[in-house]
Structure 1
Amino acid sequence: MKIEPSPCYSHSSSVLVMAAPRNSANESVRVMRDEENAKFEDSPTAKKPKLEGRYPLTTWELAAALGVFLIFSTGLFCIYWTMPAAEYGRIKLPRTVSDLRMLKEHLATYAKDYPAQFILGYCSTYIFMQTFMIPGTIFMSLLAGALFGVIRGLLLVVFNATAGASSCYFLSKLIGRPLVIWLWPEKLRFFQAEIAKRRDKLLNYMLFLRITPTLPNLFINLASPIVDIPFHVFFLATLIGLIPASYITVRAGLALGDLKSVKDLYDFKTLSVLFLIGFVSIIPTLLKRKRIYE
């Protein structure tokens, strides 16, 4: 990604930062970034702020992120270490539908022989991937449908997706602000303006976003604490709003043999149904606006 030099930094500021002692460099950068973030929050329509080509995290923020990742990784490793050994080779995360079919055949007997251990490993893997934004959770959702059926698979997927999204929410609360502003400044400004207009019916709007593919779930997880969406609203919207899409994915897992690609999951008909459900969720907001204008 090519990062253009920021127009909002003056030449004198750059020289000042370069000339500062090494032990105060991080503090100078932090002050400049805090001022920039304040301008970003106070004026959603202001000119797009751009960070310099440096990596957006400070040393301490990077250390905190690595620490959290290490804790999660250690826990996941301990769970895998205590699970009963499998009769086949090393398990790998599926990246295609064909990989998923092979994995399902290998895991079917294992999940039946060791249901508690398998579910613990499955849930831990799903939450780990969701927390650290690792692609592939859609294959985990398909696998849940293939192995456990619609009802149990749906409960597993919604639980794991909600837990992983909540974990990602708190991780972003810790270190996410500079990353989100660095990666999606325009999208974040749009999201912030929309949230500001819908504070009175925030749950309805968040439900709409979760049900429909208007904004990526990854962006919603990271940006929500930055635009001050309360956690209880985030949690409820995630828990309820992910049910329709999760149902579609889990049910598709029952017929993996007929599925050629994950793109086949969301055709025009499926997307139309999701948007219809999403619009139902924001009807209270639309009705309130209508009464205000009348």
Structure 2
Amino acid sequence: MTRPKLVAIAVIVLVVALFFATGLDRHLTLQALKTNKELFISFAEKHRLAAVSLFIAIYVAQTALSLPGAAILSLAAGAIFGVVPGTVYAVIGATLGATLAFLVTRYLFHDAVQDTFGHRLTALNRELETAGLNYLLFLRLVPLFPFFLINLAAGLTRLPLRTFFIGTLIGIIPGGFVYVNAGASLATIASPSDAASPRVLGSFALLGLFSLIPVIYRKFVRRA
């Protein structure tokens, strides 16, 4: 591994370590959000552009570094900015952060993984190049796969950047809306998990399965 890559890894590890060492993780909790909600709203009303820019920047950093707190940030978006604007800001922050994580992982580890396991990944890479958007939508919509793991794993493959960006942007809108909408009624939320009911999660899973229909159809036609 080259020196610039080692330096980049060291910087990332240092930033993540500082995040936990300084106790910043304690501020990304539901209780902290409820306690400071009025303060955040007051700041946003007086300094709208600064509040929006700061929120998106925090969301990008949290997602790019795979730090905890994404659900809290989405709830905060609804509590501070309202449902529609909050969804827009949360989706922008999450998409940009995920894309940054994707690019960093690709820069640091993609070549090594492909050089070592490329012969075993040929079929996967070919599939992702032709139907990557469908698979990514499935992974984003079905609430069984950790968001940050998808970002990192995708960066190790040959999934096109454009496909990753579009699939992430579209795929996280439903889930983002649900959490932001819950944040707009923050007082009724006792836990981030309360934002999505089993019925809602089941609907996401169904949408994810629908996204695979074109892939299944193409495979059926080939075999036929």
Q: Normalising by the residue count of structure 1, what TM-score does the alignment of the two structures yield? A: 0.64
The residue number in structure 1 matching 2:162 is 232
How far is the alpha carbon of 1:251 from its aligned partner?
A: 0.5
2:180 to 250, 266, 274: 250
2:3 paired with 1:62: no
Aligned pair in 2 of structure 1 residues 238, 224: CA closer, same or farther (>3 Å)? same
Cα distance, 1:129 vs. partner? 1.0
1:289 pairs with 2:222: no
* Structure 2 match to 1:138: 71
Please give the alpha-carbon distance, in whole angstroms, between the structure 2 residues aligned to 1:119 and 1:69.
27
Which of 268, 275, 282 is residue 205 of structure 2 equivalent to? 275
**Is residue 204 of structure 1 aligned with residue 134 of structure 2?**
yes
- Contact kept, 8 Å, 1:177 with 1:226, in 2: the verdict is yes
Shift of the alpha carbon at 1:59? 6.2
Mapped to 2, the partners of 1:239 and 1:267 lie a distance apart of 23
User: Is the partner of 1:228 in helix, strand or coil?
Assistant: coil
In structure 2, the residue corresponding to 1:135 is in which secondary structure? coil
Amino acid at match of 1:111: A
What is the deviation of 1:289? 2.0
Equivalents in 1 of 2:178, 2:223: separation in Å? 38
Deviation at 1:95, TM superposition (A): 3.6
- The structure-2 alpha-carbon separation of the partners of 1:191 and 1:99, relative to structure 1 and needing over 3 Å to count, comes to farther
Structure 2 residue ranges without an equivalent (≥5)? 16-23, 115-119
Instruction: Give 1:242 deviation, angstroms.
Output: 0.5
Q: Given the alignment, which residue of 99, 103, 108 partners 2:41?
A: 108
Aligned partner of 1:213 in structure 2 is: 143
Q: Write the distance in 1 (CA, Å) between the matches of 2:11 and 2:220.
A: 49
Q: How far did 1:199 drift?
A: 4.0
Q: Does 1:129 align with 2:58?
A: no
Q: Distance in 2 between matches of 1:191 and 1:141?
A: 35
Q: Matched residues in 1 for 2:61 and 2:167: separation?
A: 21
Q: Does 1:152 align with 2:85?
A: yes
**What is the alpha-carbon distance in structure 1 between the residues aligned to residue 109 and residue 26 of structure 2?**
26
- Matches of 2:54 and 2:128 in 1, distance apart? 39
CA contact under 8 A between 2:128 and 2:158: conserved in structure 1? no
Q: Which aligned runs of 4 or more in structure 1 are off by greater than 6 angstroms?
A: 68-71, 178-181, 190-193
Root-mean-square deviation over aligned CA pairs:
2.9
Q: Which structure exhibits the higher relative contact order, with contacts defined as CA atoms closer than 8 Å and separated by 6 or more residues?
A: 2
Structure 2 CA distance for aligned equivalents of residues 126 and 191 of structure 1: 32
Give distance in 2, aligned partners of 1:191 and 1:99: 44
- Matched residues in 2 for 1:195 and 1:270: separation? 32
Counterpart amino acid of 2:148? L
In structure 1, the residue matched to 2:194 is 264
Question: Hey, what's the Cα distance between the residues in 2 that align with 1:111 and 1:128?
Answer: 20
Percent of paired sites with the same residue: 29
Shift of 1:94: 3.3
